[in-house]
Structure 1
């Protein structure tokens, strides 16, 4: 049996980070077993679904390294891969169910449904207990009413029994027989509901496994009924842990950025994002934290999933990004800095050699490429960061000596930059000839040359700072 796993997003917005994790798990499971990963677009919400969102979601998945084998942009033997293009399939199956006595047209109006629901609430019973008014209605009469244009839905007949299945994450799950009533499979506008069309598609497309968040667990009750009506064996389900924020509530916009597009625009590295997402509900067999997710191979196994909710912590994501950023070459880091700073920045006008040396110095100081913005004044702003320590260092009796000497040396130079060797020579002179040592020497030189009491390696910083900026500081 060829393993076939799908990811089926709705193109009603940008790809949610939780959806990206589901896609990632689906992809990794399929590839670990030599199977196929399929992208299907669930666009039955015609009002909110947009092709631009579909394209953005595909782009985000590819950015993460999750490439589908079949999908709306690639085709495949089980297409179409957009639900909006499969409407006749759903209609035919729904009416086949009706003809076989497994479903029925229901003519309950909105007012009648509201009245029945209120009655059920008064009697403290489930509302669906009253929704079966047309369950045994004569089919010939129902067809006449439909042909006359009367509004209706199609409801599936709940067989009225317990439903049990074995979830790959949660073990045996049982739903009571009265959990759902006769549920709608085709709405009054002719559109299929999620629990119907997703089962039809998974069946028609030969899906063997379905990964989704635990919030979809209760949907399985309805879906198992549809599989039975189709005479089909359900796929194996894996309901993975829910993503929650620090308040333990479901991850949402109030917790910050939630779409992959946002993280991409903020400069996160795709390997960092996938690395972190994979560990939100799954653990590496060797207990590794930092690893290339796309190289897991058969190490990715469903037995490593956790049932507990996974807390999404942006600080941890930043840590993962920091670790992956440091694995890049200086040239790649320089490119990332340039993108974050923009083409109009002073950085952009520097030579490639300067940029790579800068990247080598600063890569240990940032978690994101955009973090470099706060360090740029060290190199391009002649002003001083006059904090308490700077003020103290400037007040030392030796600092004016240091400044006067450095100014004489810098003013004598005609080059665009100072070399590290020159800084070393000045340091030795101040130490040996002027007998200035320790903190007054090192911090004294730093505040005079950089305008700050602390920072990266002094010699390298000065060598990367245009001499015009250094002269302004000394003046």
Structure 2
């Protein structure tokens, strides 16, 4: 049985880009006769808010999307909220530590930015981590630990390229060492996105990870973690983003993109779903249509392979 998911971060109101990804992920599973899971990625307690999580559920249901398992309906792989799954992430860390795949890092952000020889990181990141703390002696680590709590970094396998075929973006190659050793637990104890999402997807038996193109560069790190933890690697599919008329990723600065704003001013959900389907290449014009009616129109090959420039719909 194929299983997909949508995993929003409740750090603000759901917007057009989030909703488009949710719609495509939902259609991908419904058209395949698979199961759809909703997971709330609220692990960043500094940004996540319960009110935004509740609003996300309301917005998704208003759009006509449903889920077989999730924080409000339960399921066999509960809990579906990351803040309730911290023990699972600690278990994974213990397994990685036992395998010698982690090491403590005492470097500050300023230290990393100041490493002139460090190669550039993945995606929009700054310099890749140069491995400064990877080869510290026990005595050197003990000395640094007296003044600073360390983060934990995953040591990338030596000489291990990552190659995979993305279901939308096509063949991908990430050379060994891409992005440098990465943090799996911050110095303040917060588990990283990379670790939590790998554990969650495995625990919830996710076979298809469909998400935004901005997360494509996270994929090699998640594959490395899957392999280190002995977990199955899901199929990855990354949807190109929606950009505003200024060519930049659609965001709050473009105004009027929150799903709740359309709902509150009385926009029929079918009109917004039709617009989302149109900019996703699933229908030829932005006509009113329900999410359920789109299942028969779904064809992954019609999803654009490049970012789509849009104006915020006046509907």
Does TM-score exceed 0.5, indicating one fold?
Answer: yes
**Greater share of residues in helix:** 1
Q: In structure 1, how many angstroms separate the alpha carbons of the residues matched to 2:50 and 2:101?
A: 35
CA distance in 2, matches of 1:203, 1:13: 27
1:205 matches 2:204: yes
Aligned to 2:110: 114
Q: Distance in 1 between matches of 2:112 and 2:211?
A: 33
Pair 92,261 (structure 1): closer, same or farther in 2 beyond 3 Å: same
1:50-61 to 2 correspondences below 5 Å: 50-61=49-60
> What is the aligned partner in structure 2 of residue 134 from structure 1?
134
- Counterpart of 1:230 in structure 2 is 229
Residue 94 of structure 1: aligned partner = 93
- 1:68-117, Cα deviation, whole Å (9 max, x unpaired): 111111111111111000001101111210111111222x142xx52353
In the other structure, the counterpart of 1:21 is 20
Cα distance in structure 1, aligned partners of 2:198 and 2:104: 20
| 1:243 counterpart residue number | 242
Question: Offset of 1:9 from its aligned partner?
Answer: 0.7
Change (3 A) 1:219 1:203: same
Larger Rg: 1
Q: Structure 1 residues 27 and 124, CA, compared in 2 at 3 Å: closer, same or farther?
A: closer
Instruction: Tell me what 1:282 maps to.
Output: 281
1:307 corresponds to: 305
CA contact (8 A) 2:118 2:128 kept: no
1:25-57 Cα distance to aligned partner (Å, 9 max, x none):
111111111111111011111122111111111
TM-score after normalising by structure 2: 0.89
2:213, 2:129 → 1: CA distance?
A: 26
Q: Secondary structure at the match of 2:210?
A: strand
Partner secondary structure for residue 171 of structure 2? strand
Of Structure 1 and Structure 2, the greater strand share is in 2
Tell me the equivalent position of 2:220.
221
Asked whether the 8 Å contact 1:196–1:223 carries over to 2, the reply is yes
Give secondary structure in 1 for the equivalent of 2:74: coil
Q: How many Å separate the matches in 2 of 1:45 and 1:182?
A: 21
Partners in 2 of 1:220 and 1:50 — Cα distance?
Answer: 26
User: How many residue pairs get matched?
Assistant: 307
Structure 1 residue 232, shift from structure 2 partner: 2.2
Q: Answer yes or no: is the 8 Å Cα contact 1:158–1:182 preserved in 2.
A: yes
C-alpha distance 125-32 of structure 1, shift in aligned 2 (>3 A) = closer
For residue 22 of structure 1, report the CA deviation from its aligned partner: 0.9
Distance 1:226 1:124 in 2: 23
Report the RMSD for the aligned CA atoms in angstroms: 2.4
Task: Provide the rounded CA distance (Å) in 2 between the counterparts of 1:200 and 1:210.
Answer: 13
- Which ranges of structure 1 fall in alignment gaps of 5 or more residues? 322-475
State the TM-score, normalized to the length of structure 1.
Answer: 0.60
Give 1:283 shift: 2.8
1:157 is the counterpart of 2:155:
yes
Matched, 1:195 2:191: no
8 Å contact kept, 1:135–1:157: no
- Aligned partners of 1:136 and 1:143: how far apart in 2? 10
Conserved? CA contact 1:281–1:308, under 8 Å? no
The structure-2 alpha-carbon separation of the partners of 1:165 and 1:53, relative to structure 1 and needing over 3 Å to count, comes to same
Residue 15 of structure 1, CA deviation: 0.9
Which residue number corresponds to residue 293 of structure 1? 291
Aligned residue number for residue 124 of structure 2: none
Determine the structure 2 residue equivalent to 1:468: none
Q: Which runs of 5+ in 2 are unaligned?
A: 121-126
Is the 2:278–2:285 Cα contact (8 Å) retained in structure 1?
no
Deviation per CA, 1:443-474: give whole Å up to 9, x if none: xxxxxxxxxxxxxxxxxxxxxxxxxxxxxxxx
Counterpart check, 1:73 vs 2:72:
yes
Q: How does 1:344-423 map to 2 (within 5 A)?
A: none
Q: 2:237 and 2:157 mapped to 1: Cα distance?
A: 25
Deviation per CA, 1:245-288: give whole Å up to 9, x if none. Answer: 1122111122221110111112211011111112223334xx46
